[in-house]
């Protein structure tokens, strides 16, 4: 396998950027600024399509300083995903397990925020159609398509709060998976959630495998994450402050 020279990720063309402009999704601008601030790099692979995705999984790090790409362009959802990893790492300034899970949970849940915003705008970039196809598969397998339709209506009505609800669920589910004691008893209640099929869509098992079982976790770190979610839930302005690298003074850790 060979690599082209590393690129700065924020300088690569975003193939679906026009859809974000049409929908008025400013999150992409905030995310691009985060990547610029941290000089996140990208390695362009000269290899089989899809290999970049595998390398990104096995090279996962909380500050996400390197992204592997199959080609010299990216997509808006990927830019936002990587930026949220950066923002969470910048916020906590710590590699603790809870903070790593929180970064992945929020980055993953940003998908439904975008789904809701694009649906509101009546636009259908390939990201939207591909996401809906995947959601449909997992809800047909592990839930019901009627349940998915209900959720899609809710995501379209309030994309921001829906994202935070899903992020919190993914965080709590993964944290319980990693506790390592009475795992079935701990995670069984989560399987009754309407979000449960998305556990499979987002491949939470990969998160667990990368972090490793029996991680050292603390109530203080967990409370810090829950406080962050509560703070973000107060307004979208708090979300912009997170991406801007601002420490919210009233967040009681």
Domain with 131 in it: 2-243
Domain presence at residue 248: no
SS3 for 166-210 is: HHHHHHHHHHHHHHCCCHHHHHHHHHHCCCHHHHHHCCHHHHHHH
Residue 40 binned pLDDT confidence (cut-offs 50, 70, 90):
very high
What is the pLDDT, as a whole number, of residue 213?
Answer: 67
Token code pair at residue 204: 């939470």
- The per-residue pLDDT for 214 is 65
Mean pLDDT calculated for residue range 122-139: 97
The pLDDT of 74-81, averaged and rounded, is 96
The whole-number pLDDT of residue 49 equals: 84
Tell me if 9 is assigned to some domain. Answer: yes
Residue 163 placed within a domain: yes
In a domain, 251, yes or no: no
Distance of CA 231 to the CA centre of its chain: 18
**Number of domains forming the structure of the chain:** 1
In a domain, 167, yes or no: yes
pLDDT tier, 184 (very low <50, low <70, confident <90, very high otherwise): confident
Q: Provide mean pLDDT across the span 134-147.
A: 97
* Structural element, H or E, at residue 164: helix 159-179
Q: Is the residue at 63 inside a domain?
A: yes
What pLDDT is attached to residue 25? 94
pTM of the predicted structure, to 2 decimals: 0.92
- Position 22 scores a pLDDT of 97
Comparing 45 with 195, the larger pLDDT belongs to 195
């Amino acid at each position: 396998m060979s690599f082209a020279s590393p690129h700065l990720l924020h300088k690569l063309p975003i193939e679906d950027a026009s859809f974000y402009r049409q929908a008025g999704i400013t999150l992409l601008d905030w995310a691009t600024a985060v990547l610029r601030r941290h000089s996140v790099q990208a390695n362009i692979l000269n290899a089989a399509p899809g290999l970049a995705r595998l390398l990104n999984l096995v090279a996962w790090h909380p500050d996400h300083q390197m992204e592997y790409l199959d080609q010299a362009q990216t997509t808006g959802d990927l830019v936002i995903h990587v930026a949220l990893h950066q923002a969470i790492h910048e916020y906590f300034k710590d590699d603790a397990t809870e903070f790593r899970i929180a970064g992945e949970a929020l980055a993953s849940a940003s998908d439904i925020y975008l789904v809701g915003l694009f649906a509101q705008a009546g636009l259908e970039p390939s990201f939207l159609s591909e996401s809906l196809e995947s959601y449909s598969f997992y809800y047909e397998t592990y839930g019901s398509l009627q349940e998915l339709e209900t959720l899609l209506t809710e995501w379209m009505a309030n994309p921001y709060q829906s994202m935070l609800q899903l992020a919190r669920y993914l965080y709590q589910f993964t944290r319980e998976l990693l506790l390592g004691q009475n795992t079935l008893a701990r995670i069984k209640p989560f399987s009754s959630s309407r979000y449960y099929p998305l556990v499979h869509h987002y491949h939470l098992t990969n998160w667990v495998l990368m972090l490793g079982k029996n991680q050292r976790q603390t109530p203080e770190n967990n409370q810090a994450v829950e406080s962050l979610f509560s703070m973000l839930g107060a307004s979208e302005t708090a979300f912009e402050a997170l991406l801007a690298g601002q420490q919210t003074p009233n967040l009681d850790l």
